[in-house]
Amino acid sequence: MDRLIFHVDVNSAFLSWEAARRVARGEDDLRLIPSAIGGDRDKRTGVILAKSIPAKAFGVKTGEPVAQALRKCPQLVLAPPDFMLYEKNSRAFMDICRSYAPAVEKFSIDECFLDMTGTGHMYPDPVAAAHRLKDEIRDSLGFTVNVGIGPNKILAKMASDFEKPDRVHTLFREELAEKLWPLPVGDLFLVGRATAEKLERGYIRTVGDLARAEPAAVQALVGKKLGALIHAYANGADDSPVLSEPEQLKGYGNSITLEQDVTAAEQAHRIILALADSVAARMRADGAKAYCVAVTIRGGDFHDRSHQRKLAQATDVTGEIYQVCKQLFAELWDGRTPLRLLGVTLSDVTREEDGQMCLFDDGKRERSRKLDRAMDAIREKYGTDTIMRAAAIQSGKNVGRKHKAQIQLEKRRD
């Protein structure tokens, strides 16, 4: 049986999800004006995480500093990142995808693969089915996606990157010469800028050049393993399966690069509490608990230092995590070095209930857990700013919409 794979990719996900929320409130649609997800406009800090098509017309680029983007487009509307909103919308569109396919693999927060092999009796026209899926996501959730269709994951993914937004594209083997091979070699999945430069020095400038090149020549330019893989991709070859049970996260982490150096323990504690609360909330949303807590600091020398501690019992309680973080921080910091970055990471994750006795009072722990979940529910419904812990507010550097630092989300798989 011939394989049939869909790749569903949210168009400018972070911006689209924020725009959909604002439109539901009767506000302007960020997708129709020069706008971006990024840092503080007044402080001109942070980087651009996502941009609208009108912003792209001004030359605004994902990953560039906010200050640079504002020079290109002074009227740029900036919205702060809200990772709880992104997780909520990610789950919602993937739930719709699961209603179409027996196997769905989450590839990232805003894209997934659907194995549609053997569904011909239900969806005799794959293109029509892709349009139906795309339109259902748009009409029910308020944001658009692209759907790529192909005989394997690499071709489906490449197809979804063709013209955007709100489009369906196919890329079958008989279409390689027309649709894939004329593209610049840097457009191929896994070919980054440095790899593209190496290939171009070897006169491999298009995906077609790569497909027709001798495998040994490609490997000599970029390395044996990567060379073999991208040569296969250029020829449309990929036999990797769609994994309906993807590898679960092994760790959750947030770090903050601070606008102003932290010089007092009280300041650091408040920021660490906000970080612990943010990371624990994401972990709770996945139904997970952690056995290991780590704290990272960075001083003016730009060298990171970390300490971690194994726990006797896995936990998802913010208060417990915070107490361990404070102890680790005290072991790390000399009390004199100005700090430029603070980070909290939870690892050794489990999704099973642990029956061991806890060092914390059982009644207190249960009350803390109920409080955490109540706060999670309020934030999910009304936004991350609606409720926060008093100690984090006092710092003026809470990890929410009004923080004065750049958030770096680090969802780790290893």
Inside any domain, residue 244:
no
Inside any domain, residue 279:
yes
Q: Is 106 exposed, middle or buried (0-12, 13-18, 19+ CB in 10 A)?
A: middle
Inside any domain, residue 335:
yes
Same domain, residue pair 36 and 149: yes
CATH code for the domain in which residue 207 is found: 1.10.150.20
Q: What is the DSSP string of 131-200?
A: HHHHHHHHHHHS--EEEEEESSHHHHHHHHTSS-SS-EEE--GGGIIIIITTSBGGGSTT--HHHHHHHH
Inside any domain, residue 60:
yes
pLDDT one digit per residue (tens) for the chain, 414 residues: 689 999 999 998 999 999 999 999 999 999 999 999 987 666 666 788 889 999 999 999 988 888 899 999 999 999 988 888 988 999 999 999 999 998 999 888 899 999 999 988 889 999 999 999 999 999 999 999 999 999 999 999 999 999 999 999 999 999 999 999 999 999 999 898 889 999 999 999 999 999 999 999 999 999 999 999 999 999 999 999 998 764 455 688 887 766 677 889 998 998 999 889 888 988 888 889 999 999 999 886 667 789 999 998 899 999 999 999 999 999 999 988 889 889 999 998 887 654 343 444 455 666 766 766 776 666 555 554 444 454 444 444 344 333 333 333 333 333
- What predicted TM-score, i.e. pTM, was given to this entire model? 0.63
Antiparallel, parallel or unpaired: β 103-108 and 145-150: unpaired
Q: Active-site residue 27, yes or no?
A: no
Short-list 311, 319, 387, CA closest to 356: 311
Give the whole-angstrom CA distance, residue 369 versus residue 280.
11
Same domain, residue pair 220 and 261: no
Q: Which of 18, 87, 111, 320 is catalytic?
A: 111
Same domain, residue pair 1 and 97: yes
Single-letter residue type at 35: S
Same domain, residue pair 188 and 156: no
Give the whole-angstrom CA distance, residue 320 versus residue 38.
31
Inside any domain, residue 87:
yes
Q: Which of 170, 203, 223 is the last residue of a domain?
A: 170
Same domain, residue pair 28 and 117: yes
Same domain, residue pair 149 and 200: no
Same domain, residue pair 162 and 186: no
Same domain, residue pair 33 and 123: yes
Inside any domain, residue 203:
yes
Q: Which of 138, 170, 202 is the last residue of a domain?
A: 170
Inside any domain, residue 401:
yes
Instruction: Please report the pLDDT score of residue 301 as a whole number.
Output: 66
Q: Which of 117, 151, 170 is the last residue of a domain?
A: 170
Phi, psi of 283, rounded to the nearest 5 degrees: -65, -40
CATH code for the domain in which residue 67 is found: 3.30.70.270
Which residues are CB-neighbours of 385 under 8 A, at least 6 positions away?
Answer: 400, 401, 402
Same domain, residue pair 255 and 404: yes
CATH code for the domain in which residue 319 is found: 3.30.1490.100
Place of tokens 């394989």: 3
Instruction: Please report the pLDDT score of residue 37 as a whole number.
Output: 92
Same domain, residue pair 16 and 144: yes
Give the whole-angstrom CA distance, residue 37 versus residue 47.
8
Instruction: Please report the pLDDT score of residue 84 as a whole number.
Output: 85
Same domain, residue pair 348 and 408: yes
* Order of strands, sheet of 251-262, starting from the edge strand that comes earlier in the sequence: 304-315, 289-299, 339-350, 251-262, 405-412
Same domain, residue pair 229 and 329: no
Inside any domain, residue 81:
yes
Q: How many CA atoms lie within 13 A of 92 on its CB side?
A: 20
Quote the domain boundaries for residue 221: 181-234
Q: How many domains does the chain have?
A: 3
